[in-house]
A and B are shown apart, each in its own frame.
Chain A
Amino acid sequence: MSQNDFNAVLRDSLRQEVSEAAAGLVGLEERIVAELGERRPQLRISDWLRQLLAPTRGGRIGQLSLVGATATICLLIGFFVANQVGLTDSTPGIRLTPTHASDGNQEVLFVLPALDAADVSVVGSFNAWEPTALSDEDNDGIWMASIPLPPGRYEYAFVIDGRWWGQDPLADEYVQSFGEYSSVRYVGGGDGA
């Protein structure tokens, strides 16, 4: 056998071996996955939580931040949805937007959280700056009063145990008056109402 013939036989046998090996590789991934089957570990919620809170190279802060961020996103979505469906307005007894009365007046709710206060009232241009008492019937520290007002612009402030507080978070705007803040509500009408 000449050197050339020997080389040809060797090449053919190598080709055959390679093609047989390649045929064995077809569907290898599927076969492995099928063989593993039920033996794959199932990640349960408890395992996921344990994994989430497990110490990492960055410590637990990173993981906890993730939890905090998730909670914040959920809260924001909740607030957005509540706002869209008017949840706050439909809650019995808590109506933050003015409601119309038959005489043209609107019931305007004044609300102030004052946990340790003994006496809370509201004074403003609608009551000639004479106190109208807010009540906290269930003693939860949330003081409220619903006052019927005709359409208009009203400046006001809360008086908490004799101290004036003119920055109501529900106000439409604030003005400075005699060096102190007053809150402003627009009842009825355009943009600010």
Chain B
Amino acid sequence: MSRSPMTCRAALAVLTLALLGNAVAGQVPMSEYERALLAIPVSSTERFVAAIELGMSQADFPAAEVLQLIDRLAATPDSGPEKEALLLHVVAALEEGLPVDGLVTKGLEGLARGIPVAQIEQSLHQRLVLLAETRDLLYAKGIFSVAPGSPQSVPTALPTPRFNLLVTHISDTIADYLEGGGSPFEGQTLYQEVRFRLTSLEGATLVSEDVDLVLKRIEPADLTRVALSAVT
């Protein structure tokens, strides 16, 4: 049975559009994640898949890097429960609506350095706590996030990707500071570290007004409270 040239062209166009759509969105087919998760394996694939689908609805979801993390984790000789515990931090962040870029990058770095999975998991746990605490701090300071395109009710309600970048960089700075042996009680030093990080990215990935807003509203004591939450 032969198909008409018109039908073939239409099918080709649909296929091309589908492929282009995937490429533009930077997304990875869900089947790829399912395949990678089976290799770990995880106790509840459904929970992981649901969390990843949730993440894919965010514009800043690092789809390819998440798949790389699962793939590389599967290839390590560490135990299945340890690998799952590590991935659960990423899942928990996605379920909470927190940005996972920093967690995924740190996980990939740890695996590349040959660090035992249990040690990477501890680092990600601390970073997850800091992400949540930092987001709560910004909320408490009247800085909110709104979905892109939504009407901005107050001037301090930032589009979610911009808000997430602030959360990522503030919490990462605190995490790096603590990992480098810094004391959470040195709020002034912490504030200077955060200030340097944010101003260095001003105009690059961060909007100047957002940086000014954060630096005006947070205080050294706030950062000490956030840092203490990760070490206690």
Contacts and interface: CB of A to CB of B under 8 A. Distances in A.
Contacts of A178: 109-110, 113, 115, 119-120, 123
Contact of B105 (A125, A189, A192, A193): A125
Interface string B190-211: 0000001101111111100000
Contacts, number: 80
Interface in A143-193: 151-153, 155, 164, 172-173, 175-178, 180, 182, 186-193
Contacts of A180: 113
> Interface size bucket, A side?
20 to 34
Contacts of B105: 125, 128-129, 155
B197 A153 contact: yes
Interface string B94-119: 00000000000110111111010001
A176 to B, nearest CB: 4
A79 B109 CA distance: 37
Contact of A153 (B68, B108, B179, B201): B201
A98 to B, nearest CB: 11
17 contacts: A128-B65, A129-B105, A151-B204, A152-B205, A175-B176, A175-B179, A176-B179, A176-B181, A177-B109, A177-B176, A178-B115, A178-B120, A180-B113, A186-B200, A189-B201, A191-B196, A193-B204
Contacts of B181: 176
Nearest to A126: B105
A123 B111 CA distance: 12
Interface in A102-134: 123, 125, 128-130
A100 to B, nearest CB: 12
Contacts of A128: 64-65, 68, 105, 108
Nearest to B200: A192
> Interface size bucket, B side?
20 to 34
A164 B175 CA distance: 22
Nearest to A174: B180
Contacts of B106: 177
A186 B113 CA distance: 22
A129 B108 contact: yes
Nearest to B110: A178
B222 to A, nearest CB: 22
A176 B181 CA distance: 9
A190 B206 CA distance: 10
Given A176-B180, A178-B123, A130 B200 contact: no
B176 A176 contact: yes
B197 A123 contact: no
Contacts of B110: 178
B68 A188 contact: no
Given A151-B204, A188-B204, A192-B200, 19 more contacts: A129-B111, A151-B205, A152-B204, A152-B205, A153-B169, A153-B200, A173-B196, A176-B176, A177-B106, A177-B109, A178-B109, A178-B113, A186-B201, A188-B205, A189-B205, A190-B199, A190-B200, A190-B204, A191-B196
A186 B169 CA distance: 13
A142 B107 CA distance: 31
Interface in B33-73: 64-65, 68
Nearest to A154: B105
Given A129-B109, A177-B109, A178-B110, A189 B176 contact: no
Nearest to B115: A178
A156 to B, nearest CB: 10
B16 to A, nearest CB: 22
Contacts of A182: 109
